[in-house]
Structure 1
């Protein structure tokens, strides 16, 4: 089965991926909060790609999240430092029923890899493949355990060893929203994966995917979200939506791992991922005609200083708040 990877022009060295979200006890409250954030993603330095989705986290809170890509980090900096964005974010309330969070990565291309089941001119496109100058050649570096590491250029010269070899989440004193604004220091070489599925154009495999593969995938994501000993800091099973919240025939998982090794160990040896792998190949080998459900993923191993995370009135299991307390720093709302 062919697979395709993203190739940028030589002058491109980094890109930005950011998640901005509203968290609330109900889906309606989270959607209202996300709608108020949407006005930020406008203007001359708006994202090159903007997706939206929703998920329910392990604490039962509803989250609506904007997934934004900037192909040019300078444009992102100008957007993020603009008066409109700064005042809107700094003015968010740090008490009440609703919380907000943002996690942003400035990703060196040499520490990123992508893989698609289709070329970007066919069905599915990731945030990276929508760059106007990108090409997507077929790659032989796939379909074996460890292929993701081999597609990360930096792995040829760096060990990518984690600063946090063992992830033990902090034990929260309470489960409700905190009346706090917190930034978190992110360890060196944490690993981010966004893996996506698009069945919107499928006529041959759609029913088999939804009946036989998606439920198995969902169980695997739930396992990661609930079992910190896997090395997974946070896992989000996101149903994608239009900009006004209507459901799409697309989904993605976004997960943070303490290291690339933690992610790869789960992939190659844990029952939940082996079941995903088996269900996918059973579907792909049992249909007639080319596979018309599109899949892609992006994996990045992030160096120290390239990830920022801030949480405003969020419950203590949100994202990197699960890291030990010594990495947390209270942030004044008017900074």
Structure 2
């Protein structure tokens, strides 16, 4: 049994785990392992917002950012997904990953300039960029099975063996290396700077992001029907609550995404990604809110019924980032988009 925190990131703890040293989780889970030389990663979300996702303008925007990704300094991995937000707009989000901050820094100015910056020529759609570039001490991953990594784990050197810190409330925090010595509490206040149709959001310290996914590609008919009939509707209810009412519990924004192929066809994968005021706020929702209690109950019934025969794959990545590890910019987006929910007003540049 391994620790979720790799050996080179372990330090003398001043904050203790929620489990004793002899804790044995009831089922296996795994985490991504980067090479020790990787110090920082980049998670960059490029969004297109439109009333009609199939519009010519939306298609041109997606083609433009795809071309940017194909440049020499482009991301090592990217994927695309879509959802309908609380204002009824279609949003298509392409998330790109790097494990070389310098490479990203060289690539980003041109992409940003054309997406939300002064050289933007994408008429008829809103666009936004949401980027975190945490140190490897600032985030964690978890996978229910091996064989098909997602998100930042695609860039990893490999996967761990079975890890100890999971299957209990608090495991998410215990897997983040910084939690060995830090409370990871938020500090300061988010603010915004307006420049015409463009708004830049400067977040507070220790903002939290979760991307939590489901993959039922490998399921056979009976399991697929069980997931889509018994689990997914309960999951959607919880995701809709966070989308529409999450601000009341510290969730700035939630997107329940359907993963798509590059040509827009839906794939049998989904994920929720949400911005939270703090890791603690995310933990409170997960541990005690009725919407998540129902999700957890439906998932446990599903997994206990199928046991090891279950083909559903689950994963997540959770990041806590400082103010200087984030970039948020929105151009011609409605005021409930993403981290715009974290600010009450936008100061003029």
Same-fold call, TM > 0.5? yes
Bigger shift: 316-325 or 24-33?
24-33
Give the equivalent residue in structure 2 for 1:240: 259
User: In structure 2, what is the Cα distance between the partners aligned to 1:162 and 1:266?
Assistant: 17
Give the equivalent residue in structure 1 for 2:341: 322
Give the equivalent residue in structure 1 for 2:224: 206
After superposition, the C-alpha distances for 1:20-73 in whole angstroms (9 at most, x for unaligned) are: 011011121344432332221111111111100111111111111101111211
Give the equivalent residue in structure 2 for 1:222: 240
* Structure 1, gaps ≥5 residues long: 171-177
Secondary structure at the aligned position of 1:287 is classed as helix
How many residue pairs get aligned? The number is 316
User: Does residue 302 of structure 1 match 2:321?
Assistant: yes
User: Does residue 58 of structure 1 match 2:58?
Assistant: no
User: Does residue 21 of structure 1 match 2:39?
Assistant: no
Give the equivalent residue in structure 2 for 1:71: 99
Give the equivalent residue in structure 1 for 2:198: 181
The answer to whether the Cα contact below 8 Å between 1:184 and 1:329 also exists between their aligned partners in 2 is no
After superposition, the C-alpha distances for 1:151-180 in whole angstroms (9 at most, x for unaligned) are: 111111111111269x9x99xxxxxxx961
Q: Give 1:13 shift.
A: 1.3
Give the equivalent residue in structure 2 for 1:174: none
The answer to whether the Cα contact below 8 Å between 1:22 and 1:98 also exists between their aligned partners in 2 is yes
Give matches, 1:1-335, under 5 Å.
1-29=27-55, 30-81=58-109, 83=110, 86-87=113-114, 89-90=116-117, 91-92=119-120, 97-119=124-146, 121=147, 124-131=148-155, 133-163=157-187, 180-203=197-220, 205-227=223-245, 228-287=247-306, 289-325=308-344, 328=346
After superposition, the C-alpha distances for 1:251-304 in whole angstroms (9 at most, x for unaligned) are: 111100000000000000000001110101111111265220100000011112
After superposition, the C-alpha distances for 1:197-248 in whole angstroms (9 at most, x for unaligned) are: 1111111522111111111111111111111111000000110001111111
Give the equivalent residue in structure 1 for 2:4: none
User: In structure 2, what is the Cα distance between the partners aligned to 1:154 and 1:62?
Assistant: 36
Question: Structure 1 pair 163/139, CA: closer, same or farther in 2 (3 Å)?
Answer: same
User: In structure 2, what is the Cα distance between the partners aligned to 1:77 and 1:329?
Assistant: 27
Q: Give 1:312 shift.
A: 0.5
